Amino acid sequence: MATTTETLVWLESGDRLTREDFHRRYDARPDIRRAELINGVVYVPSPTRFDVHDEPATIMVTWLAMYALGTPDVRSGSNASIFLTDDGEVQPDGFLFCDTADASVRRTPDGYLEGAPELVSEVAASSASYDLHDKKELYRRAGVQEYLVWRVLDHGFDWFDLQADQYVRREPDDRGVIASRMFTGLRLNVTALLAGDYAGVIAELTAAEPP
């Protein structure tokens, strides 16, 4: 009796692939929950820890989602596959994009997103993470206007603005707040965030006018 042997499709960190080949392989591996293509190189992250990644990512996604829910023509998401460039397919921890006719982000016929969101947030363990190196460079090349990275183990937060094709790091104001230049009313109390005062983060966002 003839038998059929299924061939396992390989997808491993360090593989160098085109975006099309990466997506084909990733689609064939439902057992891999998260993988990204950064500048043509595959990254398959290790299992995520609650304290170092999952909870901080949830906090940032909640902050972004609350803003999007109250703002017309703005959408938020987390971990969706985004066709960013010819050599980049990412799953950001959180992102915002304008959902208008002339938006930079488009939906593909099969339901993915293509193009650069105006704002992306990532949670990184430390400054050594690829989020602040290879992935940051990919976002810069793609034209992501605001890139936010919470460095959990460093107890630090980076907010980068794209200016003249380069990322410039912004500092909080005297109250510890940074206001988005792309999304009116999106304000982050960085001091409260790093102190674990998440109620203060939400209070800053939902205030009708900044104090």
Task: Work out the pLDDT band at 209, boundaries 50, 70, 90.
Answer: low
Backbone angles phi, psi at 40, to 5 degrees: 85, 0
Residue 3's pLDDT band (cuts 50, 70, 90): very low
Confidence (pLDDT) at 100: 87
Residue 145 pLDDT > 90: yes
Structure tokens at 31: 């057992």
**Structure-token match 């703005």, residue found:** 74
Q: Are 177 and 210 in contact (CB under 8 A)?
A: yes
CA–CA dist 174, 192 (Å, integer): 13
- Amino acid 33: pLDDT: 87
Whether residue 93 has pLDDT greater than 70? yes
pLDDT tens string 6-39: 567 889 999 999 999 999 999 999 888 899 999 9
Its pTM stands at 0.91
Q: What is the pLDDT of residue 8?
A: 77
Residues 158-175: what's their mean pLDDT? 97
- Residue 73 to residue 34: CA distance in whole angstroms: 28
Question: What pLDDT is attached to residue 6?
Answer: 54
Average pLDDT over residues 123-135: 90
Per DSSP, the residues of 60-78 read HHHHHHHHHHTSTTEEEES
pLDDT-derived band at 47, boundaries 50, 70, 90: confident
Residue 48 has pLDDT above 50, yes or no: yes
**Mean of per-residue pLDDT scores for the chain:** 92
* Mean pLDDT to the nearest integer, 89-110: 92
Summarised one tens digit per residue, pLDDT across range 69-81 is: 999 999 999 999 9
